Structure formats: C-alpha cells, structure tokens
Amino acid sequence: MAATKTRTSSFSRNLPAASSAQSPEIKCGPNGTFLVSSGIPDLDKTLGGGIPLGSLVMVMEDSEAPHHMLLLRNFMSQGLVHKQPLLYASPSKDPRGFLGTLPSPSSPKDDKSRSHDAEQEKGLRIAWQYKKYFGENQSNLDGQRGMILFRFIVLYNKQEFSNEFDLRRPLDRHFYTGQHVDCISTKDLPNIAALQERCTSFLSQFSRNDATVACTGRIAIQSLCAPQCESSNMEWEMLSFIRSLKSTVRSAIAVAIITFPSSLVSATFCKRWQHLADCLVSVKAIPDEDKELAKLLTGYQDIVGFLNIHRVPRINTQVPAVLEATTLSIKLQKRRYLVLECLNQAPVDGSSGSSYGTSGSCSGASSKSGSLDF
C-alpha cells in the first residue's frame, strides 16, 4: 500500500529506507514524518497518529502516583511486540526484572469486538460527519481522492500498528529475552556519562544515513533524576545529557521517552528540561473519595489519574497543533486496559464520553481542516 500523495511541488523528500518496507509498525505522518505507536491507542490519536520518529518524549511524574509506569509499560511492550530493539534504564538494581511485568497484547477476541464496534460506529459517521473524518485520519490523507478506500485499509492496519495491552497478562518471555533488549541500572552509576555512552552506542545502530536499517529503536529511561541515583545532584550534566540524547535521537530512526519526577528537580532546571522535549506530558494523581471531584466529574470512580498534554510533537512544520482537550483522564477498563478519555464535566454531558467521540465542536474540525492543502 503506497501512499498516494498528490504532489503539489517538484520537491521530493529523501525518505528513509524503512518507509519503503512499509512495515505495519511505522505509519506515514503529516509533513514527511513517520510515526510509531506509543502503545496507547488513545494517546496516539491525541498526538496526531503516533510519536514521530526522532522525537524525544518527556513525561513529568507525579511523586504521589505511579501513572508514568503505565505509559512506560505500554510503550515498551509495543516496541517489543514489534520486535524493535529496546534500551531501558531505571534506578532499580534489577531493571531486567521489570521486563517480566510488561503487559501482553490483549487477546484477539477482545480486540475484535472493540474495533468492530468502532467500525460500525464509524460507518454511520461517514454519512454526515465528513469533516471530522478528515481530522482523525489526517495522516493518511493529502487529498480527498481515495479517502473512503483508505479508511478501511487504515482500520485493517490499525490492529497491527498499535495494540491494546492487557495489564494483567505478562508479556511472553521470548519477546524480551533476545539480544535486542538492553537494560541499565542508573542507581550506581557514578555520573551520567556512562548512561550517555550506552545511549549513543545503542542509537548508532539506527542512523538515518545507513541504508540497511530495518527497524526502529526505542529508548525508555525511567525516573531520570530519582534521589537514589548519585548523579541526581549534577544538574548541568543531566541537562547536557538530555540535549545530546535529543540530538542523537533526532538523527536516528528511533524514539526516546524519559520520565522524571518534576518536583525533585529545581524549578529552573525543570523548565530547561521541559523546553528540550519534543512531546511533553505530565501525569497527576487524584485524591481518593473526594466528594467535590465526584460531583464535578462523571465517571470519577473509574478514573485513576489525569494526563496533561503540554506539547505535541510538531516536526517539519510551523503550524501549531490545537488540541480539543489537553487534560485526559486515565482509566483502567476492567482493571486491564488503559484508556484515556476526555473529561466529562458536569453539567456538560454526553457527547464526549468515549475516546472516539469528540466534543463535537465545530472549532475542532475547522482547525484541522486548515492543514489540508488544495
């Protein structure tokens, strides 16, 4: 399935070799970028299809809740399921033990029922919500022709690009016992240079200039500035580490995600780190049994936390992304599946219930239609 782009200019981009293979794990994004899945379909949708290759995602942790681990787990599992090499760094003594707790893709039976409903729902929507469809599948469309044809191909493909993960089923061992998975413990490293070297050597396998690269690399660094690491005091060194990682990742066919406890980094450095991120999200804990919050939000019982999206990756473009909602609620459906939803605030009700539904505002559609070029 080649992307039938209607060329508006004679300039043609030098696409990396991976695109010609058209593997399901990489999808074409807007502005000549390629996207990989974050492991959470709802997050992919909010970010515009997925995480662009070469971007650095930073997650600001809340010291009171482990929600960043949910994001990390899904990200790592998605990479392992697609057999992408992974480098994982964490402050615990035995990072490899964590791999045993990664979630497994949910069984096809559950998957099918979900996407089947989605198809049915979307099937109804084609008839009258024409514009909204453009917004959702923007990445696959540069023109209006062949839109409906693409639609079904995208849905078919979607199952492979991004999986639903069942947090209660651990990943099969064969996914992470290969050579392509590397783990580092950041706890006893005397300084950050050792971590930097490992990252650089890992990323050298994915250089864009190399035509033989077959897959994307993923780097996951957990709790970069945790207090038990010796290097947490050296703020300038950590800053230069993040900067060099960002530049190396940008020129590689890879994606990196770093989580850090924002309350433990001094305010000025926290701001600097935030500026370095291509994609910045933060997670927040919510109080338990809070009557005020229960009155304000519907579905409060299922919500475990909030996810705030501060910055969406915009590579190769100056057009800013206008999100419909920057605060999403993190829910665990049946305590197994991670779902991100727009907040339902009383008294506004109903239409923004599921992750498929949008708030139905015309402003959303019009901002997205601006990126179509005729």
Partner 1 sequence: MADSICRTIRDGALEGEHAPSLTIKDTTASPYGFGVFTHVLSQASTLILAGKSQSRGLVVVAYSRSPSFYLDFLKRSGVDVASSQKWIHILDCYTDPLGWKHQLADSGILPSNSSAGACLFQDVKDINKLQSLILELGSGLVGQGKVRFSVAIDSVTEMLRHVPLSKVAALISDLRSHDQISSIFWLLHSDIHDVRVTTSLEYLSSMVASVESLNQSSDGLSGDLGNLSLLEQNFRRGKFHVRFKRRNGRVRVMNEQFHMEESGIKFTSVTVEDGLVSQGLVPKVLFNLELSEKEKLERARVVLPFEHQGNGKPIQIYDGRRSLAPESMGEVSADTSQSSTEECSNGGGEIIYFRDSDDERPDSDEDPDDDLDI
Chain residues that interact with partner 1, rule: CB under 8 A: 63-67, 91-93, 187, 226-230, 232-233, 261, 263-264, 266, 284-293, 296-297, 304-306, 326-327, 330, 332, 343, 345-348
Alpha-carbon gap, residue 167 to 107, rounded angstroms: 12
We find the least distance from the C-beta atom of residue 146 to partner 1, in angstroms, to be 39
We find the least distance from the C-beta atom of residue 122 to partner 1, in angstroms, to be 28
Maximal CA-CA distance, the chain: 61
We find the least distance from the C-beta atom of residue 339 to partner 1, in angstroms, to be 14
We find the least distance from the C-beta atom of residue 305 to partner 1, in angstroms, to be 5
Tokens 């015309």 identify what position? 362
Q: Residue 124 or residue 293: which is nearer to partner 1 going by CB?
A: 293
We find the least distance from the C-beta atom of residue 81 to partner 1, in angstroms, to be 23
Cα dist. 155→91, 137, 247 in Å?
Answer: 39, 10, 34
Q: Residue 19 or residue 46: which is nearer to partner 1 going by CB?
A: 46
Alpha-carbon gap, residue 212 to 112, rounded angstroms: 35
We find the least distance from the C-beta atom of residue 278 to partner 1, in angstroms, to be 24
Q: Residue 211 or residue 267: which is nearer to partner 1 going by CB?
A: 267
Take residue 313 and report the two structure tokens written for it: 């990756």
Q: Which residues pair with 243 in a beta bridge?
A: none
Q: Residue 229 or residue 254: which is nearer to partner 1 going by CB?
A: 229
3-state secondary structure of 174: helix
Number of residues in the chain: 374
We find the least distance from the C-beta atom of residue 71 to partner 1, in angstroms, to be 12
Q: Residue 28 or residue 304: which is nearer to partner 1 going by CB?
A: 304
Q: Residue 29 or residue 91: which is nearer to partner 1 going by CB?
A: 91
Of the candidates 197, 233, 230, 258, the one whose C-alpha atom is nearest the C-alpha of residue 72 is 258
Take residue 62 and report the two structure tokens written for it: 């809340």
Alpha-carbon gap, residue 102 to 104, rounded angstroms: 7
R_g over Cα of the chain: 20
We find the least distance from the C-beta atom of residue 83 to partner 1, in angstroms, to be 27
We find the least distance from the C-beta atom of residue 139 to partner 1, in angstroms, to be 27
Q: Residue 97 or residue 123: which is nearer to partner 1 going by CB?
A: 97
Which is it for strands 254-261 and 56-61: parallel, antiparallel or unpaired?
parallel
Q: Residue 34 or residue 260: which is nearer to partner 1 going by CB?
A: 260
Whether 10 contacts 275, CB under 8 Å: no
Of the candidates 158, 127, 155, 129, the one whose C-alpha atom is nearest the C-alpha of residue 351 is 129
Alpha-carbon gap, residue 6 to 157, rounded angstroms: 22
3-state secondary structure 110-169: HHHHHHHHHHHHHHHHHHHCHHHHHHHCHHHCCCCCCHHHHHHHHHHHHHHHCCCEEEEE
Take residue 179 and report the two structure tokens written for it: 């050579």
We find the least distance from the C-beta atom of residue 263 to partner 1, in angstroms, to be 5
Q: Residue 206 or residue 337: which is nearer to partner 1 going by CB?
A: 337
Cα dist. 341→65, 310, 364 in Å?
Answer: 18, 16, 16
Q: Residue 91 or residue 217: which is nearer to partner 1 going by CB?
A: 91
